[in-house]
Amino acid sequence: MTAAALTSRPPRRFYIETWGCQMNELDSQRMSGQLMQQGILPTREVAEADIILLNSCSVREKAAQKAYSRIGEYRLLKREKPDLLIGFCGCVAQQEGEKAVARVPDLDFVIGPARVGELQSVIAERRATRKPVIATGFPDAAARNYDMDLLARDGVFKGMVTIIEGCNKKCTFCIVPSTRGPEQSRPMAHVLAEVRHLLNYGFVEIELLGQTVNHWRDPETGADFAVLLDAVARLPGLRRLRFVTSYPRDFSPAMVEQFARHAEVISPYLHLPVQSGSNRILKWMGRGYEIELYYDLIARLRQARPDIALSTDLIVGFPGETDEDFQATLELVRNIRFGSLFAFKYSPRPGTAAPRLKLDPVPEAVADARLQELFQVQNDIQLEINRALVGQTFEVMVTHWGRDKGTQTGRTACHRLVHFPYGEAPVEMGSIKRVQVEQGLHHSLRGRLVA
Ligand code: SAM
């Protein structure tokens, strides 16, 4: 092919907008990889795109409304570019399915989270049939396409690896089981092969992913997550191992033991959503544990790894939540002293059980005030924790440029963000350097490089 032929047609471009959790981020990386393999390149300019994908999240408020309004904006671009393809992906897409095409007739395809591996064939079908394609539902793990070469990672140091998809829990507030389907664990051999593949390419940090990551079971041998952690942590070249999201009731003593056994590799960081500090509310939420179990688990984790930084998710304003219940949540936050926290105002999700419980709704203004109070309490705690780290030295994996000139940023093993000036020459990205903390801020640390 001549140079002229190569340049005669500009490459096709795709644009992806991603909302929501790490699972969605990874799904977007999987879709990008499939498009890039076909020579279609990413763009940050939506107007330049030949294919637009909205990877939606349905966990909170007005998700469908927001998604349709964004698709409405994208549709306008079709006036200028009739061949533009618009794909509705992610959890809202799974929920809406056929309805989405009925509502937006010029939508080209709808792909649920369990079908992201089929993007190439969905696009081919759309082009061949000229009809909208709907790929929703939940195939078995064995039928899902996890091709490692069809994944465009958005970094070269930290890689996410899905180990379990879907969720079998019955939390009354949560839509995830209906959008991501029942749990499907990937075989241990596949997970280990993918981690090895990343390590061979020079990745140093691995994050294992699942909605209930610690409920993973090897479909072939029945081995549990503690066994998998042990096997992954032993892989040569791995510097940091993290996993998200763990379910408190499924966190067995054997898993706590792995934290202690592989202290060199398993990061002293754990995201453990608790949702509420009140047993009444936990019961209505269908969480399947009482707060005493959570306190006990945290105590055992801290005993195993005194350096562990904990984070959690909390919902305020769940129906029936009294001021006393909310105080129990504040008490939990003050007692545990999480390193970081994600808090949300309850939002009824279509098809979930909570609205059917007929509990008294918490007035919007009360829920807003509780959320603000919770953030205030946590902010004060975070500042205290971060200030107490001044003078200590941490190993920081350097991954980004800082906002201020001459600075870079990275994360400690316990996932704290650290800013530092690099001095004469920048530090190699992906390397792990020692940084002494000089200042503790609300959400990050500032420090200096030390030998
Ligand atoms: N699988 C995880 C668990 O429950 O342990 C969480 C998955 S969900 C994607 C992330 C967080 O969103 C939840 O931990 C919860 O705090 C929040 N969330 C989920 N449903 C919600 C709702 N209906 N209203 C407000 N927050 C919600």
Task: Say yes or no to pLDDT of 77 above 70.
Answer: yes
The single residue listed with the structure tokens 């078995």 is 140
The pTM for the full model equals 0.93
Which residues, 6 or more positions from 308, have their beta carbon under 8 angstroms from its beta carbon? 259, 268, 269, 270, 301, 302, 414
> Predicted confidence band at 150 (pLDDT cuts at 50, 70, 90)?
confident
Ligand 1 geometric centre to CA of 347 (Å): 10
* Token code pair at residue 153: 């990672």
Q: Yes or no: say if 287 and 275 are a contact pair by the CB < 8 Å rule.
A: yes
Helix or strand (DSSP H, E) at 438: strand 432-440
Taking the CA of residue 173 as reference, the ligand 1 atom at the shortest distance is 23
Cα–Cα distance, 84 to 106 (Å, whole number)? 10
Q: Is the Cβ atom of 21 under 6 angstroms away from ligand 1?
A: yes
Determine the average pLDDT of the residues in 379-400. Answer: 97
What backbone torsions phi and psi does residue 319 show, to the nearest 5 degrees?
-50, 135
Task: Say yes or no to pLDDT of 198 above 90.
Answer: yes
Q: Is the Cβ atom of 313 under 6 angstroms away from ligand 1?
A: yes
Ligand 1 geometric centre to CA of 170 (Å): 12
* pLDDT tens, position by position, 157-191: 999 999 999 999 999 999 999 999 999 999 999 99
* pLDDT tens, position by position, 10-55: 789 999 999 999 999 999 999 999 999 999 999 999 999 999 999 9
Q: Is the Cβ atom of 287 under 6 angstroms away from ligand 1?
A: no
Task: Say yes or no to pLDDT of 4 above 60.
Answer: no
Which residue puts its alpha carbon closest to atom 11 of ligand 1?
A: 313
* Token code pair at residue 288: 């399947």
pLDDT value for 8: 62
Determine the average pLDDT of the residues in 387-393. Answer: 98
Q: Is the Cβ atom of 401 under 6 angstroms away from ligand 1?
A: no
Cα–Cα distance, 427 to 200 (Å, whole number)? 22
pLDDT value for 144: 83
Which sign does the torsion angle of CA 198, 199, 204, 208 carry? positive
Cα–Cα distance, 423 to 216 (Å, whole number)? 45
What backbone torsions phi and psi does residue 161 show, to the nearest 5 degrees?
-130, 120
pLDDT value for 1: 47
The DSSP letter of residue 318 is -
pLDDT value for 7: 56
pLDDT value for 6: 53
Longest dimension (CA), the chain: 75
* pLDDT tens, position by position, 115-129: 999 999 999 999 999
Q: Is the Cβ atom of 249 under 6 angstroms away from ligand 1?
A: no
